[in-house]
Amino acid sequence: KLNIGVDIIEHGVEGLVYLLTESSKLMISEVDFQDSIHVLGFSDELNKSLLQLYLDNRKEIRSILGELAPRLPSYHSLEWRLDVQLASRSLRQQIKPAVTMKLHLNQNEDQTAQVLQTDPATLLHLIQQLEQALGEMKMNHCRRIVRNMK
C-alpha cells in the first residue's frame, strides 16, 4: 500500500524500537529526547508525535525490559575448608595447600551448590581483583553509569 520496500519498513521499525528502548533505559528527559530526534531531520509534527509516544510508553517499556533481564543466582552462604597435604609416598616432605569452597546460591526459590577448589595464591589474586573492582565502583564515572542503569 505504501509502495515502499519491505527492507525500508523493517529498518524503520527497528530504528523506532531502538530509539524508544534506549531512551527508556536511560530515562532521558523530554528536552534530551527532543534534542535526540531533532538531529534526525523529521518534521515538527512527527517530532511531537514521537515525544508523546515516548512519554506515554516509557514506564511500560522499562517494566518489560526489567522482565526480560536474565535472573541471575544470588548468594546464600559459603562453606570452606583448608586441606594441606604434608607428605606422599614419593615426597616425604611437601606442603601442598588447597582451599575447598561450597558456594550455596538461590535462583528462583531453588537452592543450588557449587563446589570450587583452588590454591591459596590464586585465591589471594582473586580477592585482590575483586577489591580492585569494588574500588573502581566508587569512582564518579561508574556511579553515573550505575545511576543511569536504574
Q: What is the pLDDT of residues 61-118, one digit of tens each?
A: 988 888 887 788 899 999 999 999 888 878 788 888 999 999 999 988 889 999 999 9
Q: Is 5 helix (H, G, I), strand (E, B) or coil?
A: coil
Q: How far apart are CA 147 and CA 141, in angstroms?
A: 10
Entry pTM: 0.49
6-26 vs 44-68: helix crossing angle, rounded to 10: 70
For residue 56, pLDDT over 70 is answered with yes
The full set of domain ranges for the chain reads: 6-68, 123-149
Confidence of residue 148 (pLDDT cuts 50, 70, 90): low
C-alpha 97/C-alpha 124 separation (Å) is: 13
Average pLDDT of the chain, as a whole number: 87
Give pairs for 93-98: CB < 8 Å, separation 24+: none
Instruction: Single out the residue of 79, 120, 133 nearest to residue 103, CA to CA.
Output: 79
